[in-house]
Chains A and B, each alone.
Chain A
């Protein structure tokens, strides 16, 4: 059987990945540059019996997908900068109540209304700490459409596995770029379905009592088990509690369930990394320019490689330390004021070797932007 090859936008690749993963419910509000995801799903979901709703605002969209997830559906919303800000309180609710959901944030320039039609990677820290209070989160990203597709599938799988919101940190350049996607066949990529409780009707079901492996089997709203879901600290029945032991254990559980699985969650790619003396550490659309530069310099005999991160949170500190250990210098290539660079500096043994190659003017960072800094670091002049 010949594979289906598509030519599409990154936002559309995300839609294809979501459908492959089994998305059944989408709620959203129009916002540049993520709108195509909502537009596409408004047509694609009802074709297969799924539901799409355009809500009255960004907050309502986030709330609606959480409600839908509790009925057993795989759910998603998509947004960008200002909308991502508005969704934060409800994202925190999904963290606290442990409700699987996927939030695509196609990044644009900020703060505020910022630069709506231009690229940025400025929401790295907001993805991690946008909602208040201690919590944990998974954030994934990708630089090309094949990877956007598969990382979207991963996002749904991780949301179900860890019962958590997963942020898809795409960006305007990848979202609006058109390129090839080879559609994986059914079964080619693993799909994680909702883990449902085996507790029979009439037996006390504890919605917030983790199994030995840390996972929490769910029961759909409308099913045999009636339980409480709340954003307050809660006991194993989901009933509000401010008992210090309950509060302490729940917060640690919310943080640990992700941190303890960082190896399983971490996604990355290596390009030209064999014996690399200089490493370009990048992600999303910035990584495209980094890869282009490394490819060119390798052809000229320079030992330059690219470590491309596809999972940003939890930050893969151990991986970064290990991969960057032997390098003469590491250039973090990103389109913000050094949000991932700060993480890299904390991860490595010699933070003095870490440099920022950034661009923040709404234009995609180019290979020559990176090359200019690289030449200075290499002592080869400007």
Chain B
């Protein structure tokens, strides 16, 4: 199938700004799904609120565009009630780690078979450029005219600590790498997290003098390195890319099936 077969073209053009990285993430995601040969009827995409969340409207899957921060809680209900479905949950900074942070760590703790795709653009884009829990200190935002003092979350470390059984990070510059990570994440039985650094030239890039979209993509090339690489060993200030966790642990819905078996016997 062509990638466009996974899109609801009648709902285009999309609402993302020129140069936004989210379209690249969508592209990588659809290619991953195409390469895995998944049936569209078996995929449910659940999203929250924000630029990233609009992905769910554009894809020709069962799509559930919910409320801010709660996409993983909705997805948990869908998955547990029908475990045969594949659950994909694209999220932005706020959905995943601010208002939705609690659901993120608990979905990871349960190891429920859901794929969380976190599009990290270090800003609240839809509301016009307020800092997020991923912005980090010293950044300019409409709610930080004197620069941010908040430290940022490291999504990889947080996901690992909370119990996610697959954790990877890539960028929109590394679109092909993202496809590989997304394929593995979707195939993984358990809670999988793929963080993709995604540029927001309109609100983050402009305010923080990081240039336009091509410049921000260049930065992703120059400021990141594969885990285990010499470049990363030589310069630990680079952001590590790669698969950080890929382990097997009991999956929540499978465990619940055993509860049903026990309950029916007694």
Contact = CB atoms under 8 A, between A and B. Distances in A.
B67 A89 contact: yes
B106 interface: yes
Contact of B85 (A60, A222, A229): A222
Given A67-B74, A93-B67, A224 B46 contact: no
Interface string A63-98: 111111111010100000000000001100100000
Contact of A231 (B67, B103, B256): B67
Contacts of B158: none
Nearest to A96: B67
B226 interface: no
A27 B76 CA distance: 10
Contact of A63 (B61, B66, B79): B66
B81 interface: yes
A61 to B, nearest CB: 8
B77 A27 contact: yes
Nearest to A231: B67
A222 B264 contact: no
A69 B66 CA distance: 14
B64 A229 contact: yes
Contacts of B84: 222
Interface string A217-233: 00011111011111110
A47 B263 contact: yes
Contacts, number: 131
B70 A46 contact: no
Given A56-B102, A71-B82, A221-B85, A65 B62 contact: no
Categorize the interface residue count of chain B: 35 or more
Nearest to A90: B67
Given A221-B44, A226-B61, A65 B77 contact: yes
B263 A231 contact: no
A229 B67 CA distance: 11
Given A47-B264, A60-B73, A230 B78 contact: no
B51 to A, nearest CB: 14
Interface in A116-142: none
A231 B65 contact: yes
Interface in B53-78: 56-57, 60-67, 70, 73-78
A99 B73 CA distance: 16
A43 B61 CA distance: 34
A51 interface: yes
A7 interface: no
B102 A68 contact: no
A244 interface: no
B4 interface: no
Nearest to A24: B81
Interface residues of A, number: 43
A65 B61 CA distance: 20
B260 interface: yes
Contacts of A51: 80-81, 256
Contacts of A229: 63-65
Interface string B156-182: 000000000000000000000000000
A46 B264 contact: yes
Contacts of B17: none
Contacts of B65: 228-232, 240
A55 interface: yes
Contacts of A93: 66-67
A349 interface: no
Given A222-B42, A231-B67, A60 B81 contact: no
A25 B80 CA distance: 9
Contacts of B266: 47
Contacts of A25: 77, 80-81
B231 interface: no
A222 B263 contact: no
B146 interface: no
Given A222-B62, A228-B57, A230-B57, A56 B106 contact: yes
Given A63-B70, A226-B61, A230-B57, 20 more contacts: A25-B77, A51-B81, A60-B102, A61-B73, A63-B74, A64-B76, A66-B77, A67-B77, A67-B81, A71-B85, A90-B70, A93-B66, A222-B41, A222-B84, A228-B8, A228-B56, A230-B65, A230-B66, A232-B65, A240-B57
